[in-house]
Amino acid sequence: MASPKKHDKLMKHLMKSDRVEVKAYTTSEESEFNALKYDLEHGMKLLPHKMNRYNELKGKLGK
Phi first, then psi, for residue 43 (nearest 5°) are 80, 10
Q: What is the pLDDT of residue 41?
A: 94
pTM of the model: 0.58
Domain count for the chain, please give it: 1
Q: Decide if 51 is inside a domain.
A: yes
Predicted local confidence at residue 55, as pLDDT: 95
Please report the pLDDT score of residue 3 as a whole number.
Answer: 61
Establish if 31 belongs to a structural domain: yes
CA pair distance 24, 12, nearest whole angstrom: 25
**Structural domain harbouring 43:** 26-63
List of residues 6+ apart from 29 with CB closer than 8 A: 57, 60, 61
The backbone region for 54, taken as left when phi is positive above 0, alpha when psi lies in -120 to 50, beta otherwise, is alpha
The answer to whether residue 32 sits within a structural domain is yes
> Is residue 21 a part of any domain in this protein?
no
Interval 2-55: pLDDT, tens: 566 666 777 676 666 555 555 666 789 999 999 999 999 999 999 999 999 999
Q: Which DSSP category does 42 fall into?
A: T
